[in-house]
Structure 1
């Protein structure tokens, strides 16, 4: 059925629960997984001539985001290995998370995106998440939206 499944993560507890469910689903199908973290692009100061002395440079920002992304993707990679699944990890930079998720799915020839259904807190618990909604509207491949049940 599905041979390569994209698992987006933002490092949150909800995202981790969704990735865990995605790995279980992939294991049932013996599918490969591609775990992706999308970081925002470096934001240049409004006045480029006057760089704040305590602000990170673009290189420092990129390095910090790489380290952060690695910390979010490592548990996915380890869980996939424990389940006997092949796993690629991808770190992307883009201000449009949804567009980058769809682009990554295309780039890595994924035939399914498995992602969470809703936001992290407040009203977001009851409505479909904005990134998920955008992915659904942009994507030409199936998207399995996983709903986390709260006890």
Structure 2
């Protein structure tokens, strides 16, 4: 049923639970996994020096690599995992990669945000569920 499963990760506990579900689904269906980590760097636009921007971008990129490596280390069944790092809005990046890679399923952790943050920002999982062209499994 599934050939490609997109699994966004941010290193959170919800993301790790989603990763376990995705690995199980990939094992039973023979699907490959596209693992995505997004460097959300919109907040650095106001920083004045290029050196500071480069340092922050490097820190964010290293974090993405670490999150993807942790996911790959969970793979005990030799499921094919292709890792992608993107910069930008997490929800938009997830939707773009889902389209580009023609995924059959997105498995995403619930954001856990509530209150004012959720009202202003919305959760990534909500945005993905409402805009994705394929099925989305939200793991809490």
Which segments of 5 or more consecutive residues in structure 2 lack a partner in the other structure?
Answer: 116-121
Report if the CA contact (8 A) 2:38-2:85 is conserved.
Answer: yes
* Partner residue in 2 for 1:132: 125
Deviation of the 1:6 alpha carbon: 0.3
Aligned residues: 134
Report if the CA contact (8 A) 1:39-1:91 is conserved.
Answer: yes
TM-score by length of 1: 0.78
* Partner residue in 2 for 1:142: 135
1:2-151 pair list within 5 angstroms: 2-42=2-42, 43-45=44-46, 48=48, 51=49, 57-80=52-75, 82-94=76-88, 96-119=89-112, 130-147=123-140
Deviation of the 1:78 alpha carbon: 2.4
Quote the Cα distance in structure 1 between the aligned partners of 2:129 and 2:38.
17
* Secondary structure in 2 matching 1:63: helix
RMSD after superposition: 2.2
Deviation of the 1:58 alpha carbon: 2.3
Quote the Cα distance in structure 2 between the aligned partners of 1:144 and 1:14.
12
Identify the structure with the greater helix proportion.
2
Deviation of the 1:118 alpha carbon: 4.5
